[in-house]
Amino acid sequence: MSQTVFEPAEVATPQRAVRIAVLGYGAIGQQLIEAIAHEVAPQAAICVVRRQALPLPPVAQTPLAVCTDVQALLAWQPDLVVECAGHAAVSQYVVPLLAQGVDAIVASVGALADAPLHGLLLQHAHVSGALLRTVSGAIGGLDALAAAAPAGLDWVRYTGRKPPLAWQGTPAAQGRDLTQLRQAETIYTGSARAAALAYPKNANVAAAVALAGIGFERTEVQLVADPEVQTNVHELEAQGAFGRLHLRIANEALPSNPKSSWLAALSLTQELRRLLELKRHRSPALQQPPHCCG
């Protein structure tokens, strides 16, 4: 018998495989799917949501279904959705899926800087009972920040420092030749809200820090293009009644996208592990071989 994500002894009445929808097949999505198929949930049915209906080869013998619209995805009845496609996919897919009671894990945390969208997500999760999880992504220490917040935080600062190449295609490239940068240049200072909205592919971490700590307006953000660094460096500093926090993390970027850190993909995978574990306790029947859409 092939291996399942759940311990067979713990499964009362096997009925079907857990169905995981993955939004986006880019640098993070491909890492995530490899992890699901090889280790996290080898018997899961996976449906990949793409902008175009391009077929995908199976990963570790797991057939990958492909959907290109929300109606087809809803018809497939996913048990949970993992978003790694960008801010637009949050409103396009996560909102209607949450409304239908589908648990969601969101990597594009910066999308929640759009206050009406954030409100809608929370409302749908509340009404449908679905879980909405955002990831710490490319940073860490958010558990400490969240724990410290109720006791009072005086200030929270986040600095995102990446090589110039990682800022191509962003407002940082306007009026500036990033390839000619010889020293570190601050390309943004301001609130986490404005950072997340202006840099949707680079400031999701700023949004995650804001959500964990003192919110989008009060979280101070600095973004730096730095030719001296080879990694994506994230720094979190905070002071409050608890004491003082300073965390610095130097992340390897994913080979196919210099903007995105490998840790972001690992963090999404870890959140998926946690959610599957929770779902296993809630509905032990989720385990049998898949029946895919697409």
Ligand X SMILES: O=C([O-])CC(=O)C(=O)O
Could you list the active site residues? 234
Out of ligand NDP, ligand X, none, which partner does residue 203 contact, by CB within 5 to 8 A per kind?
Answer: ligand X
Dist CA 167 CA 122 (whole Å): 31
Question: In 10 A of CB 288, how many CB atoms?
Answer: 16
Of the two residues 181 and 205, which places its CB atom closer to ligand X in the complex?
Answer: 205
Residue 85, classed as helix, strand or coil, is: coil
- Residues near 258 by Cβ (< 8 Å), separated by ≥ 6? 162, 163, 165, 166
* CA-to-CA separations, 142 to 20, 138, 163, 233, 276, in angstroms, rounded: 26, 11, 24, 16, 21
Among 23, 90, 132, 203, binds ligand X (CB under 6 A): 203
Of the two residues 259 and 279, which places its CB atom closer to ligand X in the complex?
Answer: 259
Of the two residues 31 and 261, which places its CB atom closer to ligand X in the complex?
Answer: 261
Dist CA 110 CA 198 (whole Å): 10
Out of ligand NDP, ligand X, none, which partner does residue 251 contact, by CB within 5 to 8 A per kind?
Answer: ligand X
In the sheet that holds 45-49, the strands lie side by side as: 64-67, 45-49, 19-23, 80-83, 103-106, 132-134
Please report how close the Cβ of residue 32 comes to ligand NDP at its closest, in angstroms.
9
Of the two residues 64 and 192, which places its CB atom closer to ligand X in the complex?
Answer: 192
Q: Which is nearest to 32 in space by CA: 274, 290, 268, 275?
A: 268
Q: Which residues in 49-80 are b (16+ Cβ under 10 Å) and which e?
A: bbeeeeebeebeebebbbbeebebbbebebbb
Dist CA 167 CA 120 (whole Å): 30
Of the two residues 53 and 88, which places its CB atom closer to ligand X in the complex?
Answer: 88
Look up tokens 């400490």; give the residue.
Answer: 144
Out of ligand NDP, ligand X, none, which partner does residue 232 contact, by CB within 5 to 8 A per kind?
Answer: ligand X
Please report how close the Cβ of residue 182 comes to ligand NDP at its closest, in angstroms.
27
Out of ligand NDP, ligand X, none, which partner does residue 51 contact, by CB within 5 to 8 A per kind?
Answer: ligand NDP
Dist CA 25 CA 33 (whole Å): 9
> Closest-CB residue for ligand NDP?
26
Dist CA 168 CA 274 (whole Å): 34
Asked if 205 touches ligand X (CB under 6 A), the answer is yes
Contacting positions for ligand NDP (CB under 6 A): 23-29, 49-52, 84-89, 92, 107-109, 135, 137-138, 200-201, 204-205, 208, 257, 260, 264
Q: Check the annotation: does 113 bind a ligand.
A: no
Please report how close the Cβ of residue 223 comes to ligand X at its closest, in angstroms.
10
C-alpha of 205 from chain center: 10
The torsion angle over the Cα atoms of residues 108, 114, 115 and 120, rounded to 10 degrees, is: -60
Q: Check the annotation: does 115 bind a ligand.
A: no
Out of ligand X, ligand NDP, none, which partner does residue 92 contact, by CB within 5 to 8 A per kind?
Answer: ligand NDP
Residues 211-270 contacting ligand X, CB under 6 A = 232, 251, 259-261, 264
Please report how close the Cβ of residue 26 comes to ligand X at its closest, in angstroms.
12
Please report how close the Cβ of residue 4 comes to ligand X at its closest, in angstroms.
32
Residue list for the binding site for NAD(+): 138, 204
Residue list for the binding site: 138, 204
**Interface positions with ligand X (CB under 6 A):** 138, 201-205, 232, 251, 259-261, 264
